[in-house]
Amino acid sequence: MNLRTMIVAVPLCLLLAASVAWASDFRIKGYFKDRATNRIFTIEYRGDPGADQARRYAEQRPYAAGQMTAVYFYPAGSRMPVDGITRAKNLFDANRILYDVPGLAAWRYAYMRGFDGRSQFVDCLESAGHDLCR
């Protein structure tokens, strides 16, 4: 391996290793997708990855233009919707489960990329009254 190849390869390997280690802090627990490709993810995280890493992870979830993708982050061990989200019959039911079912934990972070393509990310501990927070 020549020096030029190493100069390019080493940083790429380090970047890949960092992204793999970072992504392992998150695990998809529930996933809803309707016929129109609107999506909702419930994500469990270990430790406290921080808002920046959670946002980057959310931004990597699939999105279809003109549709909606929502990502809700829960600390490990939280009582969170899993099967209810995955088995929801439609977007209305999935949102009802998230926001209205008693006994479920509140999520820490929420991300929404809306029908217009604009995105919002909220730390619900800092902005508990935000519409995306429970």
Taking only the tens place, the pLDDT of each residue in 110-125 is 999 999 999 999 999 9
Q: Is a pLDDT exceeding 60 seen at residue 104?
A: yes
Domain ranges of the chain: 26-123
| Burial zone of 39 (CB within 10 Å; 0-12 exposed, 13-18 middle, 19+ buried) | buried
Q: Extract the runs of DSSP E, i.e. beta strands, from the chain.
A: 26-33, 39-45, 69-75, 109-113, 119-123
The radius of gyration of the chain's CA atoms, rounded to the nearest angstrom, is 17
Terminal Cα distance for the chain, rounded:
54
Whether the full predicted model's pTM is greater than 0.85, yes or no, is: no
Backbone phi, then psi, for 38, in 5-degree steps?
-75, 140
Q: Is a pLDDT exceeding 70 seen at residue 67?
A: yes
